[in-house]
Amino acid sequence: MSDNAHLQLARDKLIFYPRFQRILDQIEDLHHTTQILGEVRCLAYEGPQGVGKSSIARYYTQKHPRKLVGNHTEVPVLYVTVPKLITIPNMITEMLSALGDPLAAWGNSTSKHKTRYPGNTPWTRNYRLREFIKNDCQVKLIIIDEFQHMIRFSTQRVMADVTDWLKDLIKQTNVPVVVVGIQPEIERIIRSNAQLNSLFTIETLEPFQFDTKRPETIQEFGNFIRRWEGLIGKNLPWKSDTDVDLLYRIYYATNGITRHIKELLILSADLANKARADIIEMKFLKEIFNRELRRRLEKQYNPFDTKWEKRFAPPDL
């Protein structure tokens, strides 16, 4: 396998570190216990950009692929993204489209459905959506991503209408819903509707921490970086097996955000491959940080630059 192919393969991999796995386990739990108990339970999880929220949602959806059964396509997990122009009709269109309705914006989906779903009104389209979820497509879980659009691109009135509609959809279909989005907006949206709030548990997916008073946070971060080394096939320039110095520099450079960690390590490994270097040298990390992350993260110093050596001395543990 070529170096480029190896890095491309690593790019698409997920690392199931403990907090990531816990969110997955919670989704799995409500997915199955709702079916057992017959009582719908829902989950909202939020966090800053780049921590892997959408990766969890897409992974879980792919883990439960749709399948053709007779004349129907079963969709065990329905994944949909909230449109920026958020209205109830637009949400219905997005969900019908995600279910595979070829005429998602219209009342008459197919000739087979003309008598069941006549006309092109919000009521008939909403009815069709409910029928598809409960019967035709046998949906067992709905995941709604980018839920913060509800508050960022709408008025309070629209948000109230859409959250009411979502609450009704959950109760009418008895299908659990997972909503995903940016912290702290998701909690604000859920809390804005008392009945919707009663259906949801709210969790947060935080970035990695580097807290000297909590050594377990440093250990978790170090384990994550070591697993990334294995994926990209290049070692970092560790001074020893317990090199906290380099770990702290990587944490400063990325803010503990998984997206930034992936970018820093994969692109630095690419430079190392092009230079035919055996390891990812500090100069490669320095170049990628300057080029890709420094301005975006508004960092004053480059932690991989030797002139700042004293500033990035290993913290006391």
**pLDDT tens digit sequence for 161-200:** 999 999 999 999 999 999 999 999 999 999 999 999 999 9
Q: Is the sign of the CA dihedral 267, 273, 276, 278 positive or negative?
A: positive
pLDDT value, residue 228: 95
87: left (phi over 0), alpha (psi -120 to 50) or beta: beta
Cα 13 → chain centroid: 14
Q: Where are the domains of the chain?
A: 48-204, 209-308
pLDDT value, residue 240: 83
What's the rounded Cα separation, in Å, for the pair 144 and 19?
20
- In sequence order, which ranges of 132-177 are alpha helices (DSSP H)? 149-152, 156-173
The CATH superfamily assigned to 48-204 is P-loop containing nucleotide triphosphate hydrolases (3.40.50.300)
**E-strand stretches of 71-198:** 72-74, 77-81, 141-145, 177-182
What's the rounded Cα separation, in Å, for the pair 157 and 81?
21
pTM exceeding 0.85: yes
Highest CATH level, class, for 209-308: mainly alpha
The pLDDT tens digits for 27-58 are 999 988 887 777 899 999 999 999 999 999 99
